[in-house]
Chains A and B, each alone.
Chain A
Amino acid sequence: MHGRKRLTKPLSAEEVAGQRAKAEKYRKLMSHVLAARKRGDRSRETLGIVSKLLVVNADAYTLWNYRREFELEAKEELQLTAQCLEKNPKSYAAWYHRRWILARHPELAAAELELCAQFLEADERNFHCWNHRRFASTLAKEADDDVVRFALEKLDANFSNYSAFHQLAQRGAHVVQDDDDDDDDAAATKNLDLVAQ
């Protein structure tokens, strides 16, 4: 619903027919997949159809739930969710599935930080992505300094990025603190200076 483009002209009869055919195909595939699930189907073939459907509609939460009943390859799932998120960067279900995979493959978490950086380039306020970054950051045991550095970079790019301020606030008192700050007051002053810029 959010982020739809403006319709500049009405669809031609051809385009309408095309849409109708797409809808029909989508409906058939959905029924097929849900029937397969009822049978306890765990075949690669069905998984493939589920992938196709999710790329079309990443918000079909039922399909993601079904998917997690399969034996899954982490890399394949990360690729699929990335594809879905490119189309729909605010899909709760797609981000969740990605998190679910990472929780089982923490060794892949470090690479997530790069993905998050890319998504935040496209939309610096995408809270799904910021949440995901926090999750991956913990899993990857990212150093506090690196978390702070990333947030400060975002603020340098746009001082109105409240999401970046929120990230700084999340890290509490050890924000913007140098090794030679021997008390909390010095650190607090540094933080105030940042905001007062």
Chain B
Amino acid sequence: RRTMDPKREEALFDRWRRRHVRFFRLHLETLSHHYLSLDTSRVTALYFCIVGLEALREALSAGERQRVIDWVYGMQVVDEATGRGGFRGGTSVEGVAPHIAMTYTALAILVSLGDDLSRVRKDAVAKELKALQRPDGSFTAAADGGEQDARFAYCACAISRLLLLRTTREPFPFDVDELEKHIDACRGHDGGYGLTPHSESHGGSTFCCVAALLLTDRPVDDAVLDWCALRQHATKGGFGGRPNKDPDSCYAFWIGASLRALGAADVIDACAVTAFVFSCESKILGGFAKYPTEAPPDLLHSFYSICWLSWAYPGNFHAIDPLLGICARHLPSLSD
């Protein structure tokens, strides 16, 4: 069997890697008008860049790190009257309530950059999480209203793990039993999970529910393994989000992470997923699109593609932790 000269292999990989590093770095500086819909959620775009770069083993300079850390802390908002707090989405949303997904991504960024979270108002975040939980166990995203669904349940659990719980004995700031009931209500007859009760099982919400259960040490029904495994497309190799949908690169994370976190990463054909992910790569611009060659690459699909590749090629990347969405090498710093 012929093998490549290791130096040449390394050089090829480095050229490949630099293309994607450039993609994320460009998006760190500016977001084009294509990202207008993310304007009020800009910290999530920043999260994709920072964690994506780290997975690619790209270090930021000390100065760059500090700039990002300071910008993120600038997004922290605390209502001194209620004692509730968290992070908002971006500089264009002044004077607004914090948003649970922005708090999650802000904390993920800070942990990833080695910040000790000492400037985070932990009590305020704990109070906010408690207040955002509805009587049926679900979570809204912000104090001033909005929808409630599995995405925010996940955020509440992830925030707790990133910021609040330092040992396994500490309690979550919200009612975990009620959360578990809500997630159970989101479970479909087919073993997958929907965003809300009675809705169609979907890859994204399945990840959110499975991860929330695992983060809170609650049992996960086995049936979800079959549902996830069935998301691998029989001929195209990638994962789709629901039955009879074309594979989309971001489900390499939503489904891949679910299976990996459940210890079942090998029930699917990983090589076929990897091949599909590569078929979505933008070889000139760097980054990845959601479908092979269809659309320009975008931040979200690039990030989730890199997450998958970090598992497929552990020697070349910093592997992403499937539950918290940050590089696994930070996990030790999250527990005493």
Contact of B244 among A59, A95, A162 (CB under 8 A): A162
Q: How far is the CA of A68 from the CA of B147 in the complex (A)?
A: 13
Residue from B145, B189, B201, B242 with most neighbouring chain A CB atoms (10 Å): B145
Q: A19-B33, A61-B141, A93-B147 are in contact. Are A31 and B94 (CB under 8 A)?
A: yes
Main secondary structure of the interface of A (DSSP, over half): helix
Main secondary structure of the interface of B (DSSP, over half): loop
Cross-chain contact B145 with A88 (CB below 8 angstroms) = no
Q: How far is the CA of A160 from the CA of B244 in the complex (A)?
A: 6
Cross-chain contact B39 with A7 (CB below 8 angstroms) = no
Interface residue B299 (Cβ < 8 Å from any Cβ of A): yes
Contact of A92 among B147, B199, B296 (CB under 8 A): B147
Cross-chain contact A125 with B242 (CB below 8 angstroms) = yes
Contact of B96 among A56, A62, A130 (CB under 8 A): A62
Interface residue A38 (Cβ < 8 Å from any Cβ of B): yes
Q: Per-residue CB proximity of A38-68 to B under 8 Å, as 1/0?
A: 1000000000000000001111111011101
Cross-chain contact A1 with B300 (CB below 8 angstroms) = yes
Kindly provide the distance from the CB of A67 to the nearest chain B CB, expressed in whole angstroms: 10
The residue of chain A having its C-beta at the shortest distance from the C-beta of B45 within the complex is A1
Q: How far is the CA of A1 from the CA of B37 in the complex (A)?
A: 8
In the complex, 15 of the A-B residue pairs with CB atoms within 8 angstroms, ordered by the A residue number, are A1-B298, A2-B290, A4-B295, A6-B294, A56-B36, A61-B142, A62-B89, A62-B144, A93-B146, A96-B146, A127-B199, A130-B199, A161-B244, A162-B244, A170-B198
Chain B residues with CB under 8 Å of A56's CB are 36
Q: How far is the CA of A160 from the CA of B141 in the complex (A)?
A: 34
Cross-chain contact B243 with A162 (CB below 8 angstroms) = yes
Interface residue B264 (Cβ < 8 Å from any Cβ of A): no
- Other A-B pairs beyond A34-B96, A93-B147, A131-B199, 8, CB < 8 Å: A19-B33, A23-B33, A34-B93, A57-B36, A59-B38, A68-B145, A130-B200, A166-B200
